[in-house]
Amino acid sequence: MAETRVETLKPFQVDLSFATPKITLLTVLAFLLTVVGLGAGVYAMIVGHHHAYNVFREMPWGLLIAGYIYFAIMSTGLCILSVLGHLFGGTSLLPLSNRALFLSIAAIISGFAIIGLELENPWRMYWMMVTPNLTSNIMWMGALYGACVAFMILEFVLILTKRYALAFALGLLGALAEIAANTNLGAVFALIASRPFWFGAQLPIYFICSALMSGAASLIIFNYIAYEVRNKPMDDAMQRATAAAGKVLLLFLVAVSLATIWRFLAIFTSGSDAGRLAAKALLNGPLAFNFWFFEIALGLAIPIIILATGGLKNVHAAFLAALITLIGAFFQRYDLVVAGQIVHPYYGLFEGIPKYLHYTPSGAEILVIIGGISLMVTAFLLGERYFAGVFESREH
C-alpha cells in the first residue's frame, strides 16, 4: 500500500485551517473563559477565600487542588512521551513529540494558574524562593516544576531554531525534573500521617502511572482534533504514532487499575480504621457515584474495553477512549483529594463530630477550573495556528 502523502507546512507559517472565522471565534471564546476564570480567582483573593471558596479548616484542600494535580500530572506524561520520541528518534512516537512538548508546557502553565489562585497569599512564594526550606515537599514541588517549565520552554525555542542537540539535552533534563516533581507531588500527600487514606509509599508511583495515562490520552485527543479541523488524513507515520500512543494509554490504564485494586486491598487488610472509613466513602458512601461511574467505568473500564477490542487500529475509537479517560481522570484526582480529608482526624474521639465531612465546590472554584481548562484550549488553538509546521516536522 502506498504511503499517504499530505501537504506539510513550513515552520512559523500560519496554518490557515486554524485561522478561519469559526476557529478564531472559538479561540476568542476560550480566551474570554480564561479571563473569567482568572477573574473569579482574583475576586476570591479580594473578598477572602473563606467567602468565595467552600473549603474550610477541617478540609482545606478542594476542587482547585484537584485541578492543579490534574494538569501537573498530565504535563508530566506529555513531557515523558515527548522525550521518548525525541531521544529515540526511530520510535513510532517521534511525529507526536513536538506537539507533546508544547502541550506539556500549556498543561503545567494551566496548573500553575489554578494553584496560584488557590493560594490565599501567592505572593508569599517569593519568601519561599529566597529562604527555602529544604525539608519541605511543597518547596521542592514548586522548585522542580519551575525548573521543568524553564527546561521545556528553552527546549521548544531551540527546536524552533533547529538546534536539536542542545534541545534534546534540555528535554532530558526537563523529563527528569518532571518525574522528580511528579513523584514529589505524590509524596506531598503520601507523607501526611494524619491522613491515613493518603499515607503510604504507593501514591508517588501511582502518580507516575496516572501521568503516562493522562499524557497519552491528551496527546491522542489534541492530535485528533488538529487533523479533524484541517480535514486531512493522517500520514502513515502519524497513524503509527497515534497507535503507539494508544498502546501507552492501554498499558497505563491497566497499571492504574491494578494500583487502585491493590490500594484498596492494602487499606482493608492492614490500614487504620480512619483509612477504611475514607475508602468506604468511595465504595458505598457520599463519593460512591463519582468513584464507580466516573472513576472506574469512564476512567478505566470503558476505555480499556474500547482499546482492547480494536480501538488501537481506529483513530476515532482511540479518540473516544482518550476523551472519556480524561473525564474519568479528573474525578480520580477530585476523589483522591476529597476522600483523604472526608474523615475528621478526631472522629470517634469527641461527640458531635460527623462521620463524614461535607464539601461541595463553590461557583468561584468551578469558574477557576473552567478558566484553567480554557487556558490550555487557548494555547492549543494558538499553537496549531502558528506552530503547525513544527508539530508536523519529522526532523531530529
Question: Could you tell me which of 83, 79, 204, 77 has the C-alpha nearest to residue 148?
Answer: 79
* pLDDT band, residue 153 (cuts 50/70/90): very high
| Max CA distance (Å), the chain | 75
Task: Report the CATH architecture of 16-391.
Answer: Up-down Bundle (1.20)
Q: Which pLDDT score is estimated for 89?
A: 55
Q: Which pLDDT score is estimated for 15?
A: 72
Q: Which pLDDT score is estimated for 303?
A: 96
Q: Is the pLDDT of residue 251 over 80?
A: yes
237/221: higher pLDDT: 221
Q: At what angle do helices 202-230 and 97-118 cross, to 10 degrees?
A: 120
Average pLDDT over residues 106-122: 90
Average pLDDT over residues 221-225: 95
Average pLDDT over residues 256-269: 93
Q: What would the pLDDT profile of 344-381 be if each residue is shown by its tens digit?
A: 888 877 777 888 999 999 999 999 999 999 999 999 99
Q: Which pLDDT score is estimated for 90?
A: 55
**Three cell numbers, residue 205:** 508511583
DSSP string, 142-208: HHHHHHHHHHHHHHHHHHHTT-HHHHHHHHHHHHHHHHHHHHHHHHHHHT-TT-TTT-SSHHHHHHH
Contacts of residue 205, defined as CB under 8 A and 6 or more positions apart, other chains included, come to: 183, 186, 259
How far apart, in whole angstroms, are the C-alpha atoms of residue 13 and residue 16?
Answer: 9
**Three cell numbers, residue 214:** 493522562
How far apart, in whole angstroms, are the C-alpha atoms of residue 137 and residue 378?
Answer: 31
Whole-number percent of the chain with pLDDT over 70:
94
- Window from 25-39, 130-144, 279-293 with minimum mean pLDDT: 130-144
Helix or strand or coil: residue 314?
coil
* pLDDT band, residue 3 (cuts 50/70/90): very low
Burial of 191 (0-12, 13-18, 19+ CB in 10 A): middle
- Window from 26-30, 158-162, 370-374 with minimum mean pLDDT: 158-162
- Window from 80-94, 108-122, 334-348 with minimum mean pLDDT: 80-94
How far apart, in whole angstroms, are the C-alpha atoms of residue 304 and residue 325?
Answer: 9
Q: Which pLDDT score is estimated for 317?
A: 94
Contacts of residue 290, defined as CB under 8 A and 6 or more positions apart, other chains included, come to: 282, 331, 334, 335
> CA 4 → CA 223, 234, 389, distances in Å?
17, 8, 18
Whole-number percent of the chain with pLDDT over 90:
59
Q: Is the pLDDT of residue 9 over 80?
A: no
Q: What would the pLDDT profile of 282-338 be if each residue is shown by its tens digit?
A: 999 999 999 999 999 999 999 999 999 988 888 999 999 999 999 999 999 999 999
> CA 189 → CA 65, 79, 138, 273, distances in Å?
11, 23, 10, 18
Please state the domain extents for the chain.
16-391
**Three cell numbers, residue 224:** 485528533
Total residues found in the chain within this entry:
396
Q: Hey, which residues does 226 pair with through a beta bridge?
A: none
- pTM exceeds 0.85, yes or no: yes
Average pLDDT over residues 32-41: 96
The DSSP output letter for 119 is S
Q: Which pLDDT score is estimated for 136?
A: 83
Average pLDDT over residues 243-255: 94
Q: Which pLDDT score is estimated for 352?
A: 79
Contacts of residue 235, defined as CB under 8 A and 6 or more positions apart, other chains included, come to: 3, 4, 5, 6
Contact 178, 75 (CB under 8 A): yes
